[in-house]
Amino acid sequence: MKTKASVLSVMTFTLLTAPLARAQDAREPTNSASVDLNGDGKPEAISLTWDEKKDEFVLKAGSATIRGGTDGNAPPGFVVVDIDSGDKRKELAVTTGQTDYDKQQHLYAFDGKALKAVGNVPALTEARGNGIILSDSWQGFWNRRDKYALDKAGKVIEVPQELYAVGVEATVKQSFPLARSRTDKTAVATLAQGSRIQVLAAAPTGAPGEYLYLVKSATGLLGWATTKDLTGRTEGLPIAG
């Protein structure tokens, strides 16, 4: 029992002290630049314009052109990203969307002849040139951190996770039960009014934007809670108003 308690303590500490979102590249988006994208030693003239009639952005690199849809607003520009410093190329990222929930970074690569779409991520939170992108997206009171990696074809693909680290605390304002598992709603604990809880992790339910949350009670018990219970029966969650 002592060993299990120690493991749980380490798990809890790790989740609650997980780093917050940190921008990898502080450069502002631009609509024009001259950069060597394919590593041949010759810079390409890059530009981004907006076709208002078609509600599309137009990205150009050298003589290559590619179009992408928007949400009715002109993108703020593009940024140059080096996803993998071990290859010769650099990628372009164009932002669309206006809110935390619909923002997307559209990634493109230039092979010397054509611009090709290589994938989308919610945000370029961290890209250190190791072939991996860490991407945060706001989920109401926590940041979901997704991992993306370059595959052998040079595409950016998501690396699935069963659980997502949450790491926030709250105070119970109205008592509610914690379920034994994600599929068994039998109560393993009933949270007391005024007690402190720790929301450790989130598990997608399969419905868009819906999760079940792994919660640690003040008495050290673990169980699952719904979004409705957490947002409606607790206070102190970092919900943006």
What pLDDT score was predicted for residue 238?
A: 96
The domain containing residue 181 runs over which residues?
164-235
Which one-letter amino acid corresponds to residue 229?
A: D
**174 and 62 share one domain:** no
Domain-embedded: residue 189 = yes
Domain-embedded: residue 26 = no
**76 and 139 share one domain:** yes
The encoded tokens of residue 163 equal 């659980």
Total tally of structural domains belonging to the chain: 2
Region of 198 please: left (phi>0), alpha (psi -120 to 50) or beta: beta
**130 and 175 share one domain:** no
What pLDDT score was predicted for residue 62?
A: 96
CB 146 within 8 A of CB 119: no
Predicted model pTM: 0.83
105-137 b/e (C-beta count within 10 Å ≥ 16 → b): bbbbbbeeeebeebbbbbbbbbbeeebbbbbbb
Region of 142 please: left (phi>0), alpha (psi -120 to 50) or beta: beta
Instruction: Give the separation between CA 209 and CA 140, rounded to whole angstroms.
Output: 10
What pLDDT score was predicted for residue 59?
A: 98
- pLDDT per position in the chain (241 positions), as tens? 444 444 344 344 444 443 333 333 446 899 999 999 999 999 999 999 999 999 999 999 999 999 998 888 899 999 999 999 999 899 999 999 888 778 999 999 999 999 999 999 999 999 999 999 999 999 999 999 999 999 999 999 999 999 999 999 999 999 999 999 999 999 999 999 999 999 999 999 999 889 999 999 999 999 999 999 999 999 999 987 4
Q: What are phi and psi of 200, to 5 degrees?
A: -90, -45
**60 and 90 share one domain:** yes
What pLDDT score was predicted for residue 33?
A: 97
**78 and 146 share one domain:** yes
Q: Give me the percent of the chain exceeding a pLDDT of 70.
A: 88
Domain-embedded: residue 24 = no
What pLDDT score was predicted for residue 235?
A: 97
The encoded tokens of residue 197 equal 């809880």
CATH of the domain at 225: 2.30.30.40
The dihedral sign for the CA sequence 197, 201, 206, 209 = positive
What pLDDT score was predicted for residue 218?
A: 98
CB 177 within 8 A of CB 226: no
The encoded tokens of residue 108 equal 């493109």
**154 and 181 share one domain:** no
The encoded tokens of residue 147 equal 């991992």
Q: What are phi and psi of 227, to 5 degrees?
A: -60, -40
The encoded tokens of residue 90 equal 């650099």
What pLDDT score was predicted for residue 63?
A: 96
